[in-house]
Amino acid sequence: MQALSDFFHSVISIGNQITWGGVGGIWWIGILIAALLPAGLYFTVRTGFVQIRGFVHMIRVMAHSFHKESDDSISSFQAFATSAAARVGTGNIAGVAVAITAGGPGAVFWMWVVALVGMATSLIENTLAQTFKETGDEPGTFRGGPAYYIDKGLGRNWKWLSVAFSIFLVICFGFFFNAVQANAMADAVREAWGINPLLIGCVIAVMAGVIVFGGIHSIGRFAGIVVPIMALCYIAIAFAIVVLNIERLPEVFGLIIGSAFGAQEMGAGAFGAVIANGIKRGLFSNEAGMGSSPNVGAAADVKHPVVQGYVQMASVFLDTMMICTSTASIILLSGVEYAGVVEGVTLTQAALASEVGPWGNGFLAIALLFFAFTSIIANYYYAETNIFYLWHTRVSIFCYRALYICFILFGAWVAQSGSSDNFSLLWNMADMSMGFMASANLLAILLLSGVALKVFADYEAQLRRGIKEPVFDAREHNIPGVELSVWSPNSSPDSSPAGKPKHPN
């Protein structure tokens, strides 16, 4: 049994070295350390720094995202809320604390960098998901995501990549990420009220089962209500703490910037640890470029693919720039010792309690219950979409649901064990699966970037012509793999001579 355990640990370690670096003690050769930021910078430049110049437009798009194109469809906001439900979770509370304890305050700076360039990456991947989406099993629904845009956009020779991505996503979101979320929830509740973590795990499993069996409509409605409320409450508490400690804010920002380049830690190894942990925890939190949000982004019924790209870009901003920064502020302003602390959520709870009193423990436990629970149910939909792609049968869905519940209970068991080794293994499992999944998606969106930029250019051209709500007509573009039935608006009486309908103002 010990030999099997050692073998499993070795596999996880090798997987993390391949994707994140660390082979031979060198931080710079991991696939994602080498590719994630350059890819984000590439998309930033090619879109003309869309996350900056298009920020106001992004807010306008969000303001109109509540509208549904039909009664049976998923609104753009519901897709945003579902993806935000997956993003806004353990990574924002426990993950930030883990990043700070493992890489120092400078890791927060690299989380910001990942989010900033990741906003452009998120726009690209969600534009592709919308462009290559297909009609779903129920009226008014759609399915899509990386597996679909790889298959349709790159063709038969790349089928292996779409299959590999789907497998990585199911393992990552269906199993490992849910175990991490359940672990943080159970740990926070035990810290606040002394309740047995396994009991919490059982309650989470039952409640998650009730909601996910209702499908994407049920998930979208639940997330659309819970996510905005819990995010605003958490940000409000953090803002109050910042105001109360406003005189120390320059000191905290100086600490973050000074530590970002290893100036205080000294040495290449420390510098690598800061960057690696910032990128890891940043990607775990905002998921930009990972290929997860496109699975639900494709479900939205919108008039143009880029609309959902803007909406999902806003989700990255909310997640990291606002919520993760809130957590970092609570920890660094509190003065609580973070060096050597392993369990992330307990550090955040201790920091909050030191600022607002003992009730901070309970508040954070409740916040984390909502944060992580919405992540668990949104993660379910991500993995189910890819189960449908791989093996669309009742047996496959049943097997997936059974394992989904088992990994929720596994995360609670890790909290029950109280072992720091088990805790580290859990996060390493999540990092490894996330690394392989993101690597596959980054390769795909770089190969398909020409398509995404072509669709983006169409959207921008319509805006320049004064069209307030651009409409995408696939018949006007030669993009192999796009379903014309999804992206061909009905011709109007005043169509152009060429037979192409004019875009309505």
pLDDT digits (tens, 9 = 90+) for 353-396: 888 888 887 887 887 787 788 788 878 888 888 898 888 788 88
Least confident range of 248-262, 335-349, 411-425, 470-484: 335-349
pLDDT digits (tens, 9 = 90+) for 20-41: 776 544 444 567 777 888 899 9
Note the pLDDT of residue 339: 61
SS (H, E, C) 144-191: CCHHHHHHHHHCHHHHHHHHHHHHHHHHHHHHHHHHHHHHHHHHHHHH
Q: How far is CA 204 from CA 169, 200, 209, 313, 409, in A?
A: 22, 6, 8, 30, 9
Residue 155: name the closest of 368, 451, 466 by CA.
451
Evaluate whether residue 499 is within a structural domain. no
Q: Band the pLDDT of 500: cuts 50, 70, 90.
A: very low
Evaluate whether residue 503 is within a structural domain. no
User: Is a pLDDT exceeding 70 seen at residue 263?
Assistant: no
Note the pLDDT of residue 303: 92
The rounded distance, in Å, linking the Cα atoms of 473 and 469 is: 13
Residue 143: beta bridge partners?
Answer: 134
Domain holding 328: CATH number?
A: 1.20.1740
User: Is a pLDDT exceeding 50 seen at residue 502?
Assistant: no
Note the pLDDT of residue 287: 80
And the tokens for 125? 């991947």
Evaluate whether residue 496 is within a structural domain. no
Q: Band the pLDDT of 496: cuts 50, 70, 90.
A: very low
Evaluate whether residue 370 is within a structural domain. yes
Number of domains in the chain: 1
pLDDT digits (tens, 9 = 90+) for 102-159: 778 888 898 899 899 999 999 999 999 999 999 876 767 788 999 999 999 998 899 9
Evaluate whether residue 426 is within a structural domain. yes
Note the pLDDT of residue 50: 96
Note the pLDDT of residue 57: 95
Note the pLDDT of residue 166: 93
Evaluate whether residue 371 is within a structural domain. yes
User: Is a pLDDT exceeding 90 seen at residue 167?
Assistant: yes
Q: Band the pLDDT of 499: cuts 50, 70, 90.
A: very low
Buried b (16+ CB within 10 A) or exposed e, 134-167: eebeeeebbbbbbbbbbbbbbeeebeebbbbbbb
Evaluate whether residue 491 is within a structural domain. no
User: Is a pLDDT exceeding 70 seen at residue 216?
Assistant: no
Residue 465's domain comprises 22-476
pLDDT digits (tens, 9 = 90+) for 269-306: 566 667 777 777 777 677 888 898 898 889 888 999 99
User: Is a pLDDT exceeding 60 seen at residue 491?
Assistant: no
Evaluate whether residue 11 is within a structural domain. no
Note the pLDDT of residue 503: 39
pLDDT digits (tens, 9 = 90+) for 396-436: 888 898 899 999 999 999 989 878 778 888 888 888 888 89
Note the pLDDT of residue 288: 84
User: Is a pLDDT exceeding 90 seen at residue 101?
Assistant: no
